[in-house]
Amino acid sequence: MKNKFSRRDFVRSGALVAATYAASDAIPAFSQTKSAPKGASPVHLGLTSYTFRDFDRAQLIAFMKQLNVLALNAKDVKDHLPMEPQAEAQALADYAAAGIKLHAAGVIYFEKDDDADIRSKFEYCKRANIPVIVAGDPAPTILPRIEKFVKEYDIRFAIHNHGPQDKLWPSPLTVLKAVKKMDPRMGCCIDVGHTARSGTDVIQAIHEAGPRLFNVHMKDMTSYQSD
């Protein structure tokens, strides 16, 4: 299946997703602050640092200022948010100086069923005061182990779906089925492009996720190949 969108259509689709997101019970963790103005929208526009993976942190910050978008889902790519504590601290200082707020980290991959490996990634986010981990490809069998760290650190765990090629989490609905009986801080990051490629209705998925939807990734795609 192929479907081509103009830039205007993409903006419209993004507005539709945002409206549905706001109308549902899904409110992003980073917007739930006591300082939020009364009546303010719970939906905030941000970007993922991976979008600028070919550019260093200084260039990323400059781009964000140019776009006037100051909410960041940071990733350990280039020097955006290194996992080494000292380098991470310098990155955090640079973002704070630029007025940029980190609302999520990732995609972070959880490939080991190992306490030390999992804890290191939660510590990484704790140091940065990041409330949401956007996670890639954790095996379903290790979710109970991860859940223990979610409870200990009070950090939300949002599994990112990667479309039909992803044998573990092709759709947000796959994620929701796996976490439905787990701690409410276990949820999903809906990737709109990959969700459409998996044949899942994006709006339906947002409504079904409800309060377990912690983040949304938008993609400007020109081809929705399902295989």
Please, what is the average pLDDT of the chain? 86
Q: Does a structural domain hold residue 75?
A: yes
Q: Can you give the residue range of the structural domain that contains 90?
A: 7-30+44-217
Rg (CA), the chain: 17
Quickly list H helices, the chain. Answer: 7-23, 57-67, 85-97, 115-127, 143-153, 172-179, 192-197, 202-209
**What sign results for the dihedral spanned by CA atoms 101, 107, 113, 114?**
negative
pLDDT at 8 > cutoff 70: no
Within a domain: 222? no
Cα 104 to Cα 28: distance, rounded to the nearest angstrom = 10
Tell whether 22 is covered by a domain. Answer: yes
Check residue 225 and give its pLDDT: 58
Tell me what percent of the residues of the chain surpass a pLDDT of 90: 72
**Is 80 domain-assigned?**
yes
pLDDT at residue number 45: 87
Distance separating alpha carbons of residues 126 and 51, to the nearest angstrom: 23
Kindly indicate the confidence band of residue 31, based on its pLDDT and cuts at 50, 70 and 90: very low
- pLDDT tens for 179-190 read 999 999 999 999
Q: Is residue 223 part of a domain?
A: no
**Residue 11, preceding bond cis, omega within 30 degrees?**
no
- Interatomic CA distance for residues 60 and 79, integer angstroms: 10
Burial 108-138 (b: 16+ CB within 10 A, else e): bebeeeeeeebeebbebbeebebbbbbbbeb
In a domain? residue 189 = yes
pLDDT at 227: 43
Amino acid occupying residue 53 = R
Residue 226 resides in a domain: no
CA dihedral of residues 116, 114, 189, 94 (deg, nearest 10) = 20
Q: Which amino acid is at 128?
A: A
Which CATH number covers residue 88? 3.20.20.150
pLDDT digits (tens, 9 = 90+) for 71-88: 999 999 999 999 999 999
Q: For 76, how many CA atoms within 13 A lie in the half-sphere containing its CB?
A: 16
3-state secondary structure of 104: strand
Q: How many domains does the chain have?
A: 1
Does 203 map to a domain? yes
The reported pLDDT for the residue numbered 223 is 63
